[in-house]
Amino acid sequence: ALWSVDEAVGRGRPLHLVAVINKTHSSADDYASDLSHAESSLKAAQSAVEASGRPVEITTDIQRGTAATVLLEASRDAEMIC
């Protein structure tokens, strides 16, 4: 996420961090574990970006589906995706 800060700042755009979890889960525990991992990953990425001290707006989102499908949809409104 850190190299993308320079891109977002340079373009004057917010940095949108996305995590993707499975559409379906075999149990409530599996869902909770998947969601917890996504939340932790986003929190770590956001903390690293904030620690850089760069003036960038950060948004986060957790989506359900396949990574390819979710990122393809997200790319429609993005200037850059990684």
Structure confidence by residue, pLDDT tens digits, 48-80: 999 999 999 999 999 999 999 998 998 888 877
What is the C-alpha to C-alpha distance for residues 35 and 26, in angstroms, rounded to an integer? Answer: 13
Cβ pair 7, 52 in contact under 8 A: no
Contacts of 20 (CB under 8 A, 6+ apart): 38, 62, 63, 64, 65, 66, 67, 70, 71
| pLDDT exceeds cutoff 70 at 3 | yes
pTM, 2 dp: 0.84
Taking only the tens place, the pLDDT of each residue in 5-60 is 988 998 999 999 999 999 999 999 999 999 999 999 999 999 999 999 999 999 99
